[in-house]
Structure 1
Amino acid sequence: MDRTEKRAFVASLATVFAETNFVLVAQNKGMTVADVSALRRQMRAAGATYKVAKNRLAALALDGTRFQGISPLLKGPTALAWSTDPVAVAKTAMDFAKGNDKFVILGAALGTQVLNADGVKALAALPSLDTLRGQLVGLIQTPATRIAGVLQAPGGQVARVLAAYAKKDEAA
């Protein structure tokens, strides 16, 4: 890379860091091209981006952003993953790390808060945004169905009582 390419790369990373909510730092020492390609596909499917970056350039891009707390993690062969949905990135990274021992999660930044590997693991255990939305809709709908059931119950009871008297009269 020449200087202009490096400046463009730092500027593009700084733009990404300004627009995203979550940045994950992982060590990818010894991963094959096939492994990295598989991880990129999984990240893309989750709505995230995975990029191997030079530590010095990534540190320059992080400088002055809310994510600059993860700069100390940029040692050795590292890669960055980011997305607006932090749970999706954390889940994808944790799932991949379970199957590949050469991929090690070092930490992450969620806004200004720096997370260690255990924090990322806890974040990955949370339900996804779509699951939470479904649960919320279910909670909102539940009281309405209960109210409808309570309102219909007296009418149904009266109808059952009348039907029982009608059968009793027919039997007699």
Structure 2
Amino acid sequence: MQEENNASAAEPINSQPDGQTTPDLTNDTQDARIAELESALEEAKAQVLYVKAEGENIRRRAADDIDKARKFALEKFSGELLAVKDSLDAALAVENADVDSYKNGVELTAKQLLSVFEKFNIAEINPVGEKFDPNKHQAISMVPAEGEPNTVLSVLQKGYSLNERVLRPALVTVIQAK
């Protein structure tokens, strides 16, 4: 009996409707629990703010990377074209050259330019003798001539494609059906 009195003095016991008894939480215990929950809530709020800030930083860095990629996408191509420009400038600087030496210089520069085109997957569209393809060719005129109708007879201006995507269609004359 003595033990029961000691136990009841330490913790007041409340009866529940189902007959079970639970110890009363004192105001100090409730205050400590509330403080603990408030602390956990503040930590969760801080974590949410951190995650939001980190997400915003990632978004900003990605936007900066995209902007830089746009600005410098042609950097390698431009560097290669500078060598062609230098060749043209050197040809123009020559004062005592004859027509043949100019022609040879221009041919070498054209080869240099074609090399740059190959390096960057730029291909000529020169469709003489091919069937007319409106996706790659632009007909300037149709002329009656011997040969298969709708075949390219001549190319007035070559077209170009980049990675098989047409940059500029070839301007062509097409054989008209008789």
Structure with the larger helix share = 1
Structure with the larger strand share = 2
Answer yes or no: same fold by TM over 0.5. Answer: no
Shorter-chain TM range is under 0.3
Q: Look at both structures and tell me which one has the larger radius of gyration over its CA atoms.
A: 2
What is the TM-score of this pair, normalised by structure 1?
0.27
